[in-house]
Amino acid sequence: MQIEQIVGAFLVCGISLAFLVFIGRLTVITFNDRCKRCNSLKYHWSKGRVFDSASGHAYFVCKACGHRTVAGDLGSDGRVHWYTGGTGSFLEDGTYFGDFGGGGGGGGDG
């Protein structure tokens, strides 16, 4: 066997293994962070964000069933500090923007 064939086989196996690990990781993340009520697998990738100024809490909302989960604390200025470590802001009309760090934020709605 020539060295080129060995290197080629090694590269194909390495890239295939890396791809399988990547897909496996995405599958585990999706399964573990599904909606607790309806088991929607889209929840991790597409959750809404709302707030309740009376209670001072911010919520993640399942777009499939509407289930709300307390996920952060709302400041008086509209800034939310997510329990996952990220921050963002709500405008007066309820639009959410930003997620400046931390895990599990997934970007913004609006």
Report d(CA 4, CA 18) in Å as an integer. 21
Kindly give the confidence (pLDDT) of every residue in the chain, 110 residues in length, as a single tens digit, with 9 standing for 90 and above: 799 999 999 999 999 999 999 999 999 999 999 999 999 999 999 999 999 988 999 999 999 999 999 999 988 787 899 998 889 988 878 888 876 554 444 444 44
Q: Which pLDDT score is estimated for 76?
A: 79
- pTM for the full model? 0.70
Write down the residue that tokens 């399988």 correspond to: 20
Beta carbons within 10 angstroms of residue 47's beta carbon: 23
Beta carbons within 10 angstroms of residue 80's beta carbon: 23
- For 2, residues 6+ apart whose C-beta sits below 8 A from its C-beta are none
Kind plus residue range of the DSSP H or E element containing 29:
helix 3-32
Q: Angle at CA 110, nearest 5°, toward 77 and 53?
A: 35
